[in-house]
Amino acid sequence: MILSDWDIRVYLEKNLLVIKPIYPDTIRENGVDLRFGEEFCRFPKRSDVVVDTRNHRIDEILKCEKTTREKGFIINPLEHVLAVTHEWIELPHDLIGFVNLRSTFARYSLYIPPTIVDAGFRGNLTIELIGGSIPIKIYPGQRFLHLIFARTSSPVYKPYSGKYQSQKGVTPPKPG
C-alpha cells in the first residue's frame, strides 16, 4: 500500500519516519520531494582505468565537487553524475521507498535509473543522474526527487544494514 500525505505525516509525527530538514513543500499528495545537496561527482567521459567491481575503488577516477545555490552545476549531454540529497532520511522497518525523478527534470531530458530505498535505511541518498541531449544546469536546494513510500505486509525480518547505511554526502559504489 502506498502512503498518502496523511499517513506520511503520522509516521513523521510519531518519529517512525525521519526526514531532516523538512520544508513546507516536502510532503506531497502521495510521497515526499527531496532536494539536491551541494555535492556532485562526475564519471569520466573516457578512462583507461578498468574498474574492477570486486577490488577497485571507483572514487579514484570520479571527480567530485561542491557547488552553491548561486553557482549551480552543469550536467553535460549523456553524462553520468552522482548527486546527493540535501535531506537525511531514516525509514522504519515497515516502509520502503520508490525513488522517481520529478517530471519537471525529466522534461529537461534528465533520467535516473530505477532506485529503491530499503526498509531500515538511514542516510543521505546518492542518486545517479544521466544527462539527455542538451546541457542542463541544476542548483542545490531544487526539489528533484519524488520518494513514494510503500508499507510492507509486516515489518521486515532483516532491515537494511549494508555498506551504505548512514552514508553522508555523495557515496561512490563500494566494492564487494
Distances in Å between the Cα of 131 and the Cα atoms of 43, 104, 107, 108 are 12, 14, 12, 9
Domain segments of the chain as ranges = 5-45+59-151
* Residues 127-169: tens digit of each pLDDT: 999 999 999 999 999 999 999 999 999 999 999 999 999 999 9
pLDDT digits 0-9 by tens, 39-96: 999 988 777 777 778 877 777 788 999 999 999 999 999 999 999 999 999 999 999 9
Of 29, 70, 90, 128, the active-site residue reads 128
Phi, psi of 115 (to 5 degrees): -140, 135
112 within 8 A of 99, measured Cβ to Cβ: yes
Active-site residue, 128 included: yes
CA distance 143 to 127: 13
Is the pTM above the cut of 0.85?
Answer: yes
Question: d(Cα 54, Cα 72) in Å, to the nearest integer?
Answer: 34
Domain 5-45+59-151 CATH superfamily: Deoxyuridine triphosphatase (dUTPase) (2.70.40.10)
